[in-house]
Amino acid sequence: MIECKKVEGIEFGLRTLTSYVLLQDGLPLVVPTAFLFNTAKNNKFTTVDTYQNLIKQFFTGIERSKRADGSFSDWNSLTDNEMSGYLYGHLQQKKKLKDSSIELHIAAISGFYRYAYAHGFTARIPDFSFSYQEANDKSTYLRNISTEMHDVYFTEKEFKDKLVSQVKEKCGFNRERNELILALGYMAGFRTFEVTQEENMNVENLREKLPKVENRLPSTLEFDVYGKGSVYRTVIFPVSLVDIIYKFLWGRAKHIKNGNLICRKNGKRLIGESFATKLFRKCADRYCIRPEVTPKERQRWKDSTYHKGRKCFATNAVALCIELGKDPWVYVPQWMGHTDKQITFGYIYFDALLNKREGKLAELSLENTQYGKRHYAKKGNK
């Protein structure tokens, strides 16, 4: 019998967490319990509360499934047919769940397998098709991981034509500032609260790095960003973003002497962490009311957010690394401020799908990268 027991008051650093222990016949199941605790560390309690129920149902299904040879299924040796049977036979046919609910189950299950792989509990991520609709409606396990990114990813041309073009402020200072705010998310991976963070985009620092000169040559720029977890990360500003910053810094914002470049025309700070979020929404909504926009396209942009521009940046960063022959496992986490390599893996995979270079995946597997070689060398020396 599978059951979940709620555990409160777990001390973790300076925080107190609530998580769940998954039990089978009264004995803890280590891997799903560890996954739920990891979920509790990185998400709100509502997420772990939802996931514990979904993971409990999944393991209950495994416990009750009997193979033709009389043996029972195991999560680490589950076949694609068995996974499809659980999704289609149990969740869709027996429980009559809607597609949206089944997608939630898939998210929890795929997250569990990614966690198990990343932490050495399984040797590979299984290639589940996660099929539960028509027989030919199949995509690989990792395609399902990337479904959201396929829905929200927008190209640089779309970014300019459908979003930046909707910045309509009459005041030249506000217009260029708002265009820069959008660019910081899409081209540099800024989180919405980082845009107005006092420590970021410091005018004096920018003028030191980008002095006013005649016939300035195009160049990238390394810049430290103070972000999530109160830590700095080094971000590479591409040439196109540096040009936008330079033009604003020495043009309409030349009178701003100190503080964050992202400010009011009088130099005072923009108050509130959600300014970028609201700006994105306003521009996206302006695009959506245009008569030529299809219902599907309209819904796509209504579902988009400023933070999803950051996701686009991460995917583009993987592509840049491959183009330059650099290791995305090393550079993308630095530019994004990620500490969890699972997140980087998702962007690497999505880039491979987006740019039709699935063959790169084996070459970029963790074991073969600079990051992976160092990681496993350290483990071997212990």
Instruction: Using alpha carbons, list the distances in angstroms from residue 310 to 153, 179, 186.
Output: 10, 15, 5
pLDDT in tens, 295-327: 989 988 998 899 889 888 988 888 888 887 788
Q: Which residue has the higher pLDDT, 90 or 72?
A: 90
Q: Assess whether pLDDT exceeds 90 at residue 347.
A: no
- Give the amino acid at 231: V
Q: Give the mean pLDDT of 348-376.
A: 57
CB 184 within 8 A of CB 245: no
- Alpha helices, DSSP H, located in 119-171: 141-145, 147-152, 156-158
Tokens of 297: 């396209």
Q: Assess whether pLDDT exceeds 90 at residue 271.
A: no
Q: Which residue has the higher pLDDT, 148 or 299?
A: 299
pLDDT at position 98 is: 81
Q: Under DSSP, is residue 288 helix (H, G, I), strand (E, B) or coil?
A: helix
| Alpha-carbon span 44 to 111, nearest angstrom | 16
Arithmetic mean of pLDDT over the chain: 82
pLDDT in tens, 4-56: 999 998 888 788 889 999 998 889 899 999 999 988 888 788 888 999 999 99
Q: Assess whether pLDDT exceeds 50 at residue 66.
A: yes
**Which residue bears the tokens 């049977």?**
85
Domains contained in the chain, CATH given: 2-145 (no CATH), 156-288 (1.10.443.10)
Q: Give the mean pLDDT of 75-98.
A: 81
CB 238 within 8 A of CB 220: yes
DSSP category for residue 130: -
Q: Which residue has the higher pLDDT, 222 or 353?
A: 222
Instruction: Using alpha carbons, list the distances in angstroms from residue 113 to 133, 181, 210.
Output: 22, 37, 46
Of 335, 284, 267, 309, nearest to 166 (Cα)? 284
Tokens of 157: 């041309």
From edge to edge, which strands make up the β-sheet containing 27-28? 2-12, 15-24, 27-28
pLDDT in tens, 166-217: 999 999 999 999 999 999 999 999 999 999 988 899 999 999 999 999 989 8
Q: Under DSSP, is residue 325 helix (H, G, I), strand (E, B) or coil?
A: coil
CB 174 within 8 A of CB 248: no
The angle, 0 to 180 degrees and rounded to 10, between the axes of the packed helices 295-302 and 275-288 is: 170
Q: Give the mean pLDDT of 345-352.
A: 75
